[in-house]
Amino acid sequence: MPHKFNDARRDKFPKAKYRVSNCSEYNESLRRRGDVTIWVSDDVVQKWRSPRRKTRGGQSRYSDLAIEICLTLRVVFRLPLRQTQGFVRSTAKLMGMALVVPDFSFLSRRGKGLKITPNRSVSDKSITLIVDSTGLKVHGGNGWHEEKHGTKKARKTWRKLHIGLDPETGDIVASKLTTEHVGDETALPELLTDMDADVSRFLADGAYDGQGVADCLIGKFGRGVEVIIPPPKNAAHGENAQRNHHIDAIAQHGRMSWQTKTGYNERSRIEAQIGRWKQVIGDRLQARDFDNQIAEVKIASKALNRMTGLGRAAYERVF
């Protein structure tokens, strides 16, 4: 939780302990994540080649599915493009598939602007949407050339990853990659563009506290959406009735009580999802071009959702 008023005597509060109640099922789902047959289905041969175009221009040799499969294996197993080509080629040979694997340079070119179909659970119910952002490193020069040869020190840069999480299913329902100069409130409208689910509750940290966020959510999901964003300490009443109610509740009962009653503590799940992204996918983008990096983020989101579909850990509190 971001507001630890009892931090000075925090050691007096015993830390809650949990255990996994479905160990066997969860262990099997972790094993299946490394199974190549999970990522390459049997009908891939029929969809490997691109359908013949009837308009002017050259014929495309590989379908978008073929490029997506190769780039997905690259993201999941953290492979460079050349090793990806060899890995897919050997996998097709072992599985008895007669496939011509795209060249590494071809994968790089086709990755720009690649349309990725989202892989997430479809629900008729309204969902709770939790939004947050984090930084991802990009490829840069190493310090050896700077120290040994006195070359100009490279300016460090990074990308900003914005994601939206459905805590009930554990799926990433929205993802957006921007430069480091784009703020959370500015990136929210584009983040919600591809969402097809109805949202009844919206949770985010104080970086999203603004009238622009409220207007964006009302325009996208209607006035019935419940917005749970902690206002700052010096917040004043304004035109937003929900925000005014949060300010009054915090003033009367305290911020910790407000967090418990509104369910704001559920926002910790997206922090865990960000940690999972950096543990499984990595904290660095492999692609160097920005358009390829956007495709890489879309593929990573789809791969994580597929891993979630294989099985999730069920926790129960023991202390």
Q: What is the mean pLDDT of each run of 10 residues along the chain (319 residues)?
A: 59 79 94 85 81 71 90 93 94 86 92 84 84 88 62 73 94 94 93 89 94 93 94 92 94 93 94 95 92 95 93 89
Neighbour tally for 308: CB within 10 Å: 19
Q: What is the pLDDT of residue 61?
A: 84
Q: What is the pLDDT of residue 297?
A: 96
In sequence order, what are the beta bridge partners of 172? 165
Query: Where does CATH 3.30.420 sit in the chain?
Result: 127-289
Q: What is the pLDDT of residue 218?
A: 93
Which DSSP letter does residue 22 get? Answer: -
Q: What is the pLDDT of residue 49?
A: 85
CA–CA separation, 204 and 212 (whole Å): 14
CATH entry, 127-289, from 3.30.1360, 1.10.3470, 1.10.1760, 3.30.420 = 3.30.420
CB 220 within 8 A of CB 213: no
Q: What is the pLDDT of residue 7?
A: 64
Letter string b/e over residues 60-70, b meaning 16 or more CB atoms within 10 A of that residue's CB: eebeebbbbbb
CA-based nearest residue to 218, from 227, 231, 210 = 227
Report, in angstroms and rounded to the nearest whole number, the Rg of the chain calculated over CA atoms: 23
CA–CA separation, 231 and 249 (whole Å): 11
Q: Is 162 helix (H, G, I), strand (E, B) or coil?
A: strand
Q: What is the pLDDT of residue 95?
A: 83
Q: What is the pLDDT of residue 5?
A: 63
